[in-house]
Amino acid sequence: MTLPTANISERQYAPPSLAISTVIFSLRNGTAQQDEPGLGELWLPLVRRTRPPYVDRWALPGGPIAWDESLEDAAHRSLLETTQLRPRYLEQLYAFGAVERSPDLRVVSIVYWALVQAGEAAKATEGDNVRWFAADDLPQLAFDHNQIVEYALWRLRTKVEYSTIAHNFLGETFTLAQLREVYEAVLGRRIDPANFRRQMRASKDLIATDQTVTGGKHRPPRLYRFGDPTAAQSPPLTRAQSATPSED
């Protein structure tokens, strides 16, 4: 991927080269069949490889890291360049560095995972070399990218249960039903609307607006926003500086 000028023996003994990749998740309305509204599905964009190794196989978007950009900046940039996407949430996932993960060249990939809202996802130019796939039904990808996606999926699903990242799939304001649909899609199971409402309203970060949504053929639901998550107990490294852990 990098180190373009180097013969084989030099490459073999050179230190591993670095690359960034990102697993980007978005939500699509599931295939509604008969009565059942159907759960939403997680989709992610992949890029077709145009040079060896793994020519024509699908792979995670990414690329090298410039000398003057942080890891997070590199993830953002390579994402924008390859898919036109600006994610609402971006977090480091893991550094993958098995020796044999790339055929000849030794590459260590620092992988991020990201969430984009449905509207933004539409902007991603779906061309011959960029395509969206259902996260649960991927083809065989290049490198170890299938495993990486699996791990990112696991991380997303576990983190959704104890944090408040889910709203990043949605716009600035949303109804509790929409938010619940996000949870249901990610977790793959129905959730009791009554209990869900109570749990969410218990969270201090969720704030009710004074607006409601009219037009439905039922009682108009209230719109909510998400407040600053800075108050929450976070890891000791501040978000002010770039490329620091953003877990909680």
Least distance (Å) from its own copies to the CB of residue 82? 18
Site stretch for its own copies (CB under 8 A), options 47-55, 182-190, 219-227, 235-243? 235-243
| Rounded alpha-carbon distances, angstroms, from residue 152 to 17, 99, 115, 238 | 22, 21, 11, 23
Q: How far is CA 193 from CA 11, 85, 179, 196, 208, in A?
A: 57, 32, 10, 5, 17
The encoded tokens of residue 177 equal 């039903």
Based on the shown chain and the rule CB under 7 A, indicate whether residue 219 belongs to the binding site for DNA: yes
103 binds DNA (CB under 7 A): no
CA distance 189 to 178: 15
Q: Does 189 bind DNA (CB under 7 A)?
A: no
C-alpha dist (Å) from residue 180 to 24, 160, 218: 20, 11, 18
Residue closer to its own copies (CB basis): 71 or 213: 71
106 scored as a contact of its own copies (CB under 8 A): yes
Interface residue with its own copies, options 103, 127, 139, 236 (CB under 8 A): 236
How far is Cα 16 from Cα 178, in angstroms, rounded to an integer? 44
Identity of the residue, 216 or 227, whose beta carbon is nearer to DNA in the bound complex: 216
Give min distance, CB of 189 to DNA, in A: 10
Footprint on residues 69-98 left by its own copies (CB under 8 A): 69-71, 92, 94-98
Considering only 12-20, 26-34, 44-52, 198-206, which stretch makes contact with DNA by CB under 7 A?
198-206
Q: Which does 198 bind (CB under 5 to 8 A by kind): DNA, its own copies, none?
A: DNA
Tell me the residue length of the chain.
248
Binding partner of residue 131 among DNA, its own copies, none, CB cut-off 5 to 8 Å per kind: none
Residue 218 found at the interface with DNA (CB under 7 A): yes
Closest CA relative to residue 187, chosen from 27, 46, 34: 27
Read out DSSP for 93-141?
Answer: EEEE--GGGSSSS-EEEEEEEEE--HHHHHHS---SSEEEEETTS--PB
Residue ranges binding DNA (CB under 7 A): 175-177, 192-195, 197-199, 202, 212, 214-222
